[in-house]
Structure 1
Amino acid sequence: MDASTILWIVVAVAGVFLIVAIVWGVTGRSRKERALEHQRARAADLRREGEAAALDAQRREAEVSRAAADAKQQDANAAVAEADAASAAAEAERARVDAENRRRESQAREADAQVARAEAEERLREADRADPDVPEGQEAPLQTVGRTPEAAEDPAVETGTARATPTDADATRPGVHHRPAVTDRSTAREEVEPSVGAARPVDEPDVERGTDRPPV
């Protein structure tokens, strides 16, 4: 083998190595670029996932804040409701006490009215007994019915001076001396006064009382 042949063989081998090196470098750079792109894509995915997680965390934090605000508002509403309930209970207690006081006052007034009514009736009976124009045992009956809200406003019933009105049946009863149905005792006295001062026979017996009256 001459020197030129050996030289060409060396040159060919060097060329092959050079080509292989160039191809390797090109493919290596391409692989590196692909690796970098893959890393960039993975980083972008991770970044998007992180941003989504951050947004979800913010949403949850906002929900927690709203829940805390709602809980605080509910606590305030509960406090207001408790205060209103306490005020309503106090008002109801005051109303109950006031009603009880009014009931006792009404009972006391009713008792006083009954006493006053009894006293008025007794005085009227005593006046009938002392009145010479009213026969004995024929005193005009008094109204003894119970008081009603309307009767409580009637002065005649309040003082017990209302007298029973004679009926038509009483007018036909023999031996009954009827007096005018009036509520004012002074009016009745004025109406019967002339009969008191009228002249009577000296020896005329008192037919109504069944006794002899002394000379006038």
Structure 2
Amino acid sequence: MTTDSTRTDAEIWDDRYRESDRIWSGNPNVALVREVEGLKPGRALDLGCGEGADAVWLARWGWQVTATDISRVALERAAVHAAEADVAGRIDWQWHDLGASFPEGEYDLVSAQFLHSMVDLPREEILRRAAAAVAPGGVLLVVGHSGFPAWEENPHPEVVFPTPDEVLASLELPEAEWEVLLSEEHQRTQNDPEGRPTTRTDNTLKIRRTAGP
């Protein structure tokens, strides 16, 4: 988290993206690919889309995607990525500070991949709105870190990484209207700043809305 009160959250994230021509790998998140490949394409909402790799992958698989981020710099890069992949017509890029505004509509898939932030983020509130945006029969997919990477020298004690079961409890969903498809931790390989492969633990919550409100 940051205590910088002189810049908006959007400005902080824009500056973060300006540090490099590319912040992320350009590849879709592994958990997204694994959990979505078997779903019938429909309308998808990608929360915190960054440079757009997940949204582009979804569009390639036939989804009509609404993708949102707080950084306009990231969204500009994402739009270029989509045009290069020839899927620009299947993605609606929207700027949102999700703590203040949220995309309209209902979706067959709502994806929140690593919705963590270096600024204050009302994550539980945002995920409740994400669940409310899932259409009957649709899926909410939340993937997050289970802790800081091993090379992080100064972890922030105020930052909490909830388990998938804790995420589920925080959503406060009517049990009769939702089915838990997956709630687990898993490990993946991630390179440290020196390029050396290390193991990191993440977690996934995948739930389906079985009925309308």
- Normalising by structure 2, we get a TM-score of 0.20
Query: Rg bigger for which structure?
Result: 1
Question: Which structure has the highest helix share of the two?
Answer: 1
- Normalising by structure 1, we get a TM-score of 0.20
Question: Which structure has the highest strand share of the two?
Answer: 2
Q: For CA contacts below 8 A with separation 6 or more, give which structure has more relative contact order.
A: 2
